[in-house]
Structure 1
Amino acid sequence: MGAPRNSATWSLLLLGCLVIAPGCSMIADSNNTQGAQLFQTGRYNDAITSFQQALQRDPANADACYNLASTYHHLGMASRDTAMVTQAEALYNECLNREPNHVDAHRGLAVLLVQDGRKDAAFTLLRRWAAGAPLSPEPKIELARLYREFGDTQTATELLAEALKQDPQNIRANRAVGSIREEQGQLASAMDSYNRAWMANSTQGDLATRMSMLQQQLVTGSGVNGADSRLAQNPGTTTVSGTSTTTATGSTINTNNRY
């Protein structure tokens, strides 16, 4: 496996996916929420202050630690500041010490490692997570994303199949399978997977748009034989709560668990 197919797009979509989730401290949650809002408006230094305050008030708050890591990651990559990127890596690891199954921290750290030329370390990170949490579909979904980005669609598909055996209604896994099938020109099969994701959560506006476009292609029979049938790929994003907002840099703060 060589360089990732869409490393720039992938990284931009993953950076800035902040988490706003209930924690042990309402005040810390307030700081987290405020920090996310500041991030959305480009006030990154103020966002860092808010996330630091959240950690001071609730040192065990994994989401605040992740949000701080994600902000430093975003700033470090944008300004090519090695010190910030190093700090982001340390904070991702701190987040995982607090919450070993933190999905966004695993993804963020994997992206950072790939960006830093440590592809093998990224795979090792996600494989160890999968081995340590065999009953969870989430590590398999993240590992599938990484394999797919490096061109190994077969392994990605196998991992997603395993994830769906554990959780047949998993939105991200169904969306991921749909995206792969769509890319391969299997439009009817892709629609089936997207429908499963839609049935699990009918508030996914972007998925509704995508399904509508795909349905038009199925009705007209355009491009059924392959590449011409494929829609522009959208790797998707993942986080927990809030509303979907695209920042000036292209990063996304999103609420639904999307592949």
Structure 2
Amino acid sequence: MPAPALRQTLPQFTPEHDTTNAPASRPGSGLRVVHPDDFEVSVEVLPAEDSFTETEDVSAIGIKRPGLTWSTLVFSFIAGLTFATLSGCQWAAGSQNSQGAAMYNQGQYTAAMEQFQKAIASAPEDPDGYYNLAATTHRLGNQRQDANLIRQSEALYNQCLDHDPDHVDCHRGLAVLLVDSGRPDRAFTLLKNWAAQNPTLSEPRIELARLYEEHGEPQTALKYLEDAVQQDANNPRAWLALARLRESGGDSVQALQNYQRALALGGSSLGNNATMATERVAALSRQLNSAYDVQMNAGGTQIAAPVQFGSTRY
């Protein structure tokens, strides 16, 4: 996803922007590392031996790009930072998560992991500490091709879900890990079970659509996104994903309407994706207007030639 930025509310941190997968923080969720709008990813250049650079968009529903696979999405999971007002041990955990996020963004993954471990010790019931540690361990494990780190990451993702069964970023991270480790069937089962347990929640359907699209099944992805907007017609992420998929499928009229709906519902909450959506609205509007002009100039408004006929009427 694209240079990462911290998304936060405390004055001592300066936001830039990143992605992989992340909406605004959940009320009372504490401090966590997330990709700012769940759709877009910022690319970061990492220093020293842990250096790794990439640019991806995890909300690639409807957008096929060279090299965009689920095995690459994990690397941009940690780019933003969100938190709620905390006190006591939770405040300590928030500070440690914040320090870990800063170290992560500097490519200091080992140091970041130490801070996240401290955060878990300070607030063992906070799922975001487990998610932060899992995502960092996952990235480092993939970078080093270390199977032991990958196993640790999987366990940490599951600990996160033990504390918060509806943690969106954690479901996404674990699904990526399962696909990346040759278990796509487990990834589908994970997300389908999540959806079955939450029949009125749109997020599991958005993630399932992402997974199906990545596996070359856009029609199934479309079905899940249509279900998602039916479950929550006010979810801008769902409308944005639906717009991208419909545009990719050549349905420009519906795509334009869906982009407009996403912007109307939560333009600011979409982060950098709001800019992308605005650009797509402008581009699709020009495209559709141009097609209309061509149709009109091709004879749609030409005066028909008079028919020759005989008449005794006059």
Aligned-partner Cα distance in 2 for 1:154–1:124: 19
1:206 CA displacement: 3.4
1:16 CA displacement: 3.9
1:212 CA displacement: 2.1
Deviation larger for 21-30 or 207-216: 207-216
Encode CA deviations 1:185-236: one digit per residue, 9 max, x unaligned: 2222212111111112222333324432552353245997xxxxxxxxxxxx
**2:281 corresponds to 1:219:** no
Residue pair 1:7, 1:149 contacting (<8 A) in 2 also: no
Deviation larger for 66-75 or 202-211: 202-211
1:254 counterpart residue number: none
Cα distance change of structure 1 residues 8 and 50 upon mapping to structure 2, 3 Å threshold: same
1:184 CA displacement: 1.2
Name the aligned partner's letter for residue 46 of structure 1: A
Residue pair 1:135, 1:166 contacting (<8 A) in 2 also: yes
1:103 CA displacement: 0.6
Flag structure 1 segments of 5+ consecutive residues without an equivalent.
225-259
1:56 CA displacement: 0.4
Residue among 133, 146, 163 paired with 1:68:
133
Deviation larger for 201-210 or 156-165: 201-210
1:41 counterpart residue number: 106
Aligned-partner Cα distance in 1 for 2:290–2:183: 38
Aligned-partner Cα distance in 2 for 1:90–1:131: 23
Cα distance change of structure 1 residues 157 and 209 upon mapping to structure 2, 3 Å threshold: closer
Residue among 40, 62, 75 paired with 1:15:
75
2:179 counterpart residue number: 114
Name the aligned partner's letter for residue 283 of structure 2: Q
Secondary structure in structure 1 of the residue aligned to 2:200: coil
2:263 counterpart residue number: 198
- Kindly report which structure 2 residues correspond to 1:73-152, keeping only aligned pairs within 5 A, or say none: 73-152=138-217
**2:267 corresponds to 1:207:** no
Name the aligned partner's letter for residue 20 of structure 1: T
1:21 CA displacement: 2.9
Structure number, greater radius of gyration: 2
1:163 counterpart residue number: 228
Residue pair 1:20, 1:63 contacting (<8 A) in 2 also: no
Name the aligned partner's letter for residue 12 of structure 1: T
Cα distance change of structure 1 residues 106 and 220 upon mapping to structure 2, 3 Å threshold: closer
Secondary structure in structure 1 of the residue aligned to 2:82: coil
1:173 CA displacement: 0.6
Secondary structure in structure 2 of the residue aligned to 1:15: helix
Aligned-partner Cα distance in 1 for 2:261–2:207: 19
1:239 counterpart residue number: none
Secondary structure in structure 1 of the residue aligned to 2:151: helix
Normalising by the residue count of structure 2, what TM-score does the alignment of the two structures yield? 0.65
Name the % identity: 41
Cα distance change of structure 1 residues 123 and 216 upon mapping to structure 2, 3 Å threshold: closer
Name the aligned partner's letter for residue 125 of structure 1: L
Residue pair 1:194, 1:207 contacting (<8 A) in 2 also: no
Residue pair 2:69, 2:214 contacting (<8 A) in 1 also: no
1:138 CA displacement: 0.9
Residue among 70, 94, 98 paired with 1:29:
94
Aligned-partner Cα distance in 2 for 1:120–1:109: 13
Encode CA deviations 1:67-94: one digit per residue, 9 max, x unaligned: 1000010001111011111100010011
Secondary structure in structure 2 of the residue aligned to 1:165: helix
Secondary structure in structure 1 of the residue aligned to 2:157: helix
1:177 counterpart residue number: 242
1:8 CA displacement: 4.5
Cα distance change of structure 1 residues 62 and 7 upon mapping to structure 2, 3 Å threshold: farther
Encode CA deviations 1:130-175: one digit per residue, 9 max, x unaligned: 1111121111111111111111111111111111112112121111
Aligned length: 221
